[in-house]
Structure 1
Amino acid sequence: MGSNGVGADARDATPDALDAPESPDSPDVLEPAVDDRSRGSRLDERWAHLLRTPRRRALWYWGGPVAVALLAAVLRFWNLGTPQELVFDETYYVKDAWTLIANGYESSWPEGANEDFNRGDTEVYSDDPAYVVHPPLGKWMLGLGMATFGADNAFWWRAVTALAGVVAVFAMTMVGRILFRSTLLAVIAGFLFAIDGNAIVMSRVALLDNWLMLFGLLGFWFVLLDRSRTSSRFAARLAAQQEAGGDSRSGPVVWARPWVVAAGVALGAAIAVKWSGLYFLAAVGVYLVLVDALARRRAGLPFYVEGAVVKQGPITFLLLVPTAAVTYLASWTGWLVTSGGYYRGWADEPGNAASGFWSWVPHPLQSLWHYHQAAYGYHVGVRTEHPWEANPLTWPLMLRPTNMYYADAAGCGADQCVASIIGIANPLIWWAATLATLYLVYRFARYHEWQAGAVLLGVAAGYLPWLLYVERTVFHFYTIAYQPYVILALVYVLDLVLGRPDDLRWRRQQGIATVAVYLTVVTAVSVFFYPLWAAIPVSPEFRQLHFWLPGWG
């Protein structure tokens, strides 16, 4: 077994072993086996000496995650206002966000509005509604920076999205600490996410998908927090029930689950950015029921399935799903309280309003339902040729990353310079994470480790539904929604490579050296690719060196 609860020996992979997150006073992954100098490594000994006081351990406990978040901030905010023009689908979302701030609903723009907007003339929109097919929350978030600082500077189009990317890196470390019970592995997870190209690009362009990723990751974090907190509450309720002589064959119900409510808010927000957030909500709902059933089985309850599905299941549903629904509906407040939005008056037109049982539903909600029906029809049927579309079957291999921007530039020191923004993930992170995810499938099937199951849940929710739409026009950058989980799969495997602090010295030192070399190399690769992620002018020859596969250029 690895030093943090995920490792080679399945007998140690008990579901309850890692419920409590590591505290600042807990020893970290590099604590040495001090009673046997033939085990562990000198680095373990030095690390334990360095963290020998509670204050130092607390500094590492919080300082490590903050440090990788600050690194993420530098990589995402540096030169963020370049290029000073709408990039790729910013042409839709930035302008939609600005009219949401102004009118409360997405409004139309005249021909040539992009050029005006790029120059800082941002008031050329009309009051006529625009037909859009994504919910408004992501665009409301994009509008925050512009509402505060103005829309005439590209930095503020993108600033809030970059901030979301930084918060996601910090949240990644928090999730990693719960999964692996190690600040070191949590920091490695955050570091890999901070320096990855897909994550950097999606934080530096004002699209919606970074927000979908962030809210989904927050929901995942909250569910893990619920898992660790609810187990103790359940045990206490069960003991009280048994002591009182009640029927404890299926176990008690636990209502006090604030983290499930928090997860409902986060996942409702994810759906309010893009409807694909629904898959994360469904996956989390199933996960909560399964975890509850397993907890009841471990407690020796004969009717553990009935207890989880029939007793606790409805309560969990009430805590999770209506919360998500209210959050989602709240994102449409601007459309509901104004009268100019697309389809806003549909139910007021003769013959459109519902009759019979549904006639009591207010007309604005009937109009909103009609809008959703129309948008769903668009989503399932959209098929337009695009030079950078990527079949979901190719996403794990990254055969067609999205080229979002390309233009002649100056300042690279060569006779000809170009600048581009290409959503190429760090290849050594992405491909290694893909292999690690496949290994986790085997790992979970053989050892039933809860950490592997939780990580695979996130991957499945973000990736598998897209296999139903292989004929639809989709792009590789959609992978940002589940990228945190494939990176967690990679860190899971890195933990196995590291080994345990009490492994034989040669084994431990070999593991540490291997991981250190890997992290050094992927850092160098990120430095090499960063100009293509941040629109830094380079020569065409240097740019060509980055196209490792034919579909990249």
Structure 2
Amino acid sequence: MNDDSPEAKAPADEERGGAASIATATHVALAKLETLRAREAFLRDRLRLNHPTPMPPMLLFGLAMVTVFAAVARLWRLGYPDSLVFDETYYVKDAYALMTQGYAGVWGDKPNPAFEAGDMSALQTKASFVVHPDVGKWLIAIGIKLFGVESSFGWRISVAIAGVISVWLIGRIAARLFHSTTVAITAAALLAMDGIHLVETRIALLDGFLMLFALLGFWALLRDRDDSRAKLARKIAEDPTTLNDPWGPHVWWRPWLVVAGIFLGLAMGVKWSGLYMLAAVGLAALAWDIAARRAVGARLWIGGGIFRGGLPAFINLVPVAFLTYLASWFSWFLHKDAYYRQWAQGLREGGHDVPRSWLPDVLNNLWEYHAATYRFHVSLHSEHTYQSNPFGWLLQLRPTSFFWNKLPGDRCVMSRGECAEAITALGNPAIWWPAALGLLVVLWAAIARRDWRAWSILVGYLGLYAPWLIFSDRTIFTFYTIAFVPFVCLAWVFAFGYLTGHVRPLAPLPYARADGQIVQPWAPGVITPSYAIPELAGPVVLQQIEAEEAAASDAGVSQSDDASPPRVLPRRSRIIWGVAVAIVAMVFVFFFPIWTGMTVPKWFWQAHMWLPRMWV
């Protein structure tokens, strides 16, 4: 993830505040700049940091409109079907049990019809073995509490709200990554119009919550990248002698990583697969810290990145995530009748040895519960009609049918034969298929161009998709892809943006020559920038940059990352972009009936089965 450019090393002259035997060229250049503002401006450019600018009104308006559209699409007929759909049979009933008795209980034989009618008498006080943590079910319970247990709308409202929030959030993330109003609004619109996202934010499953918390954790990671780099730039600008230490200064307090830890802990509290996203976020933070140390001129930038950046990042992120996860089991701790809650005590009373007896019983019980859950997950190999291989997920080769209802022909118009109602968890082909090719563009930009934005997108794929490839022999389903569909949308806009000019390649970084002279490679013939000239290096520098960037943003003009000037895109690029988005919208309208359980002629449903051997 190194987005830095090579720089020379040179013997240093007498440096500000002290001497060093060896200094990087960047360090020498800093020693020659006269003011704190000049040094900070140079370091911020080296670190690819944006100067603070207000959010363009057009971006706010556009994201608001897309979010309203997403809300309408998810809330319309949300209560239909008014029966438990697919795995709702587990999660909704568990949510009610959590709300009423504090733990999941066993239900009697065939409890669903009575439950759907509001009769909860089948719930028993005997604890039930459930294989996912409680956070997602507590969120479902909020809707049940507000609208009543007999309300199918109430079962699903929490996940629908999670879906709407994620649409707004992906737009903000895209704006932060690409500095383009058009790209940001498009990313939000793609997520709003994707079938996997639409279906699973209308059904009370857990994966929509996992998606939202993972996305919030990623957003906090991006905020930390800017915040920690800004702190590093400010520390060095205030005292360049901190670079006499070959590792550079410490940045201990990382509040946005604490926020990321909380969100990712909640993601793990929905499903354990959130743990992989925590690992991916931690590795990204480490890699960016190493790259930042190199950019600011630390001599031992790898060691500095690991011990002065990576170690604080770990402390701010990982313990917070695990403490949040542990706290999410609060109800299990409080109720002694919960499953495995008295496991160690039962062994002891039966005269058996207790494994890990050095642990307090309550923690030992939780450990054993996790061990039993892990054994269940890794041994899950039962055949299922809609199980799928994760190697085909990026092309949506085997979607999951959540609901199917065959009706006589008099129940729908335009048909004399059978009618059908279907809810099929299938991604929008106009998003997923181009994004599968677009992922190659992302990989190329990440590796060949060392584009940190491409690496950011890969964080989502690595944390939420790649781990499933290891478990391809297990009983798993395509609907799990909702966890990383926001990153599929980012891959789509990145690839199309790269090809049309909406996303511009990163501008070359300013760098210092061996004698400390600063070079701006994007301005041919211009060697020394304004902030390197003493009489121009005062407080006006950053304010002038900020004013220029704000004006460009308000005009809605596409910008490159941080440095090169804005430009107006050619008409052909705008047409290609508009046509691609229009195709996504048309496919969305075409598939909407079979994503939402509308009554349609059977021939109409069959017209959507483009890959009949795999989609039916």
TM-score range, shorter chain: 0.7 to 0.9
Q: Deviations over 1:410-434 (max 9, x none)?
A: 7421343211100111111110111
Q: CA deviation at 1:239?
A: 3.4
Q: CA deviation at 1:240?
A: 3.9
1:513, 1:435 → 2: CA distance?
20
State which drifts further: 466-475 or 433-442: 433-442
Q: How does 1:399-410 map onto structure 2 within 5 Å?
A: 399-409=397-407
SS in 1 for 2:85: coil
Q: Deviations over 1:211-260 (max 9, x none)?
A: 111000000000001111111111122234534x6742101111232110
Q: Deviations over 1:297-328 (max 9, x none)?
A: 01111111111112332221111011101110
Contact 1:21 1:181 in 2 (8 A): no
1:359, 1:108 → 2: CA distance?
29
Q: How does 1:335-354 map onto structure 2 within 5 Å?
A: 335-351=332-348, 354=354
Aligned to 2:432: 430
What amino acid is aligned across from residue 115 of structure 1 in structure 2? P
Contact 1:108 1:125 in 2 (8 A): yes
What amino acid is aligned across from residue 334 of structure 1 in structure 2? S
1:308 aligns to 2:310 (yes or no): no
> Residue 95 of structure 2: which of 94, 97, 102 is its match?
97
What amino acid is aligned across from residue 83 of structure 1 in structure 2? P
2:399, 2:615 → 1: CA distance?
6
1:420 aligns to 2:422 (yes or no): yes
Q: CA deviation at 1:354?
A: 5.0
2:105, 2:125 → 1: CA distance?
6
What amino acid is aligned across from residue 379 of structure 2 in structure 1? G
SS in 1 for 2:69: helix
1:17 aligns to 2:43 (yes or no): no
Q: Cα 1:411–1:497, aligned 2, differ >3 Å: closer, same or farther?
A: farther
What amino acid is aligned across from residue 537 of structure 1 in structure 2? T
Aligned to 2:161: 163
SS in 1 for 2:133: coil
Contact 1:267 1:277 in 2 (8 A): yes
2:572, 2:308 → 1: CA distance?
50
- The gaps in structure 1 that reach 5 residues or longer are 6-13, 25-56
1:462, 1:94 → 2: CA distance?
24
Aligned to 1:259: 256
Larger Rg: 2
Q: Deviations over 1:29-70 (max 9, x none)?
A: xxxxxxxxxxxxxxxxxxxxxxxxxxxx42x23221121111
1:518, 1:22 → 2: CA distance?
30
SS in 2 for 1:538: strand
Aligned to 1:208: 206
> Residue 284 of structure 2: which of 284, 287, 292 is its match?
287
SS in 2 for 1:428: helix
Contact 1:65 1:187 in 2 (8 A): yes
What amino acid is aligned across from residue 456 of structure 2 in structure 1? A
SS in 1 for 2:127: coil
- The gaps in structure 2 that reach 5 residues or longer are 4-44, 503-556, 559-564
Q: CA deviation at 1:17?
A: 3.5
Q: Deviations over 1:144-177 (max 9, x none)?
A: 1002221101111001000100011111011101
Aligned to 2:591: 529
Q: CA deviation at 1:207?
A: 0.5
> Residue 540 of structure 1: which of 594, 599, 602 is its match?
602
Identity %: 40
Contact 2:262 2:324 in 1 (8 A): yes
2:195, 2:600 → 1: CA distance?
17
Q: How does 1:61-140 map onto structure 2 within 5 Å?
A: 61-140=59-138
Aligned to 1:29: none
Q: Cα 1:506–1:187, aligned 2, differ >3 Å: closer, same or farther?
A: closer
Contact 1:241 1:247 in 2 (8 A): no
1:122, 1:158 → 2: CA distance?
18
Q: CA deviation at 1:94?
A: 0.6
Q: Deviations over 1:309-348 (max 9, x none)?
A: 1233222111101110111011111111011111110011
Contact 2:438 2:496 in 1 (8 A): no
What amino acid is aligned across from residue 419 of structure 2 in structure 1? C
Contact 2:67 2:164 in 1 (8 A): yes
1:20, 1:70 → 2: CA distance?
30
1:400, 1:130 → 2: CA distance?
31
1:467 aligns to 2:469 (yes or no): yes
Contact 1:420 1:536 in 2 (8 A): yes
2:237, 2:304 → 1: CA distance?
16
Q: Cα 1:477–1:354, aligned 2, differ >3 Å: closer, same or farther?
A: same
2:574, 2:109 → 1: CA distance?
58
Q: How does 1:153-192 map onto structure 2 within 5 Å?
A: 153-192=151-190
Aligned to 2:545: none
Q: CA deviation at 1:16?
A: 3.6
Q: CA deviation at 1:132?
A: 0.8
Contact 2:243 2:249 in 1 (8 A): no
Q: Cα 1:353–1:200, aligned 2, differ >3 Å: closer, same or farther?
A: farther
SS in 1 for 2:600: coil
SS in 2 for 1:418: strand
SS in 2 for 1:134: coil
What amino acid is aligned across from residue 327 of structure 2 in structure 1? A
1:15, 1:128 → 2: CA distance?
61
State which drifts further: 108-117 or 122-131: 122-131
Q: Cα 1:353–1:322, aligned 2, differ >3 Å: closer, same or farther?
A: farther
1:510 aligns to 2:572 (yes or no): yes
Q: Deviations over 1:54-92 (max 9, x none)?
A: xxx42x232211211111101111000000100000011
Contact 1:412 1:539 in 2 (8 A): yes
Q: Deviations over 1:161-195 (max 9, x none)?
A: 00100011111011101110122211100000001
Contact 1:21 1:178 in 2 (8 A): no
What amino acid is aligned across from residue 339 of structure 2 in structure 1? Y
SS in 2 for 1:201: helix
1:274, 1:223 → 2: CA distance?
20
Larger RCO: 1 or 2 (CA < 8 Å, sep 6+) = 2
What amino acid is aligned across from residue 48 of structure 2 in structure 1? A
Q: Cα 1:162–1:403, aligned 2, differ >3 Å: closer, same or farther?
A: same
1:18, 1:530 → 2: CA distance?
41
Aligned to 1:331: 328
Aligned to 1:492: 494
2:120, 2:66 → 1: CA distance?
36
Contact 1:122 1:152 in 2 (8 A): no
Contact 1:138 1:273 in 2 (8 A): yes
Contact 1:212 1:273 in 2 (8 A): yes
Give the root-mean-square deviation of aligned CA atoms: 2.1
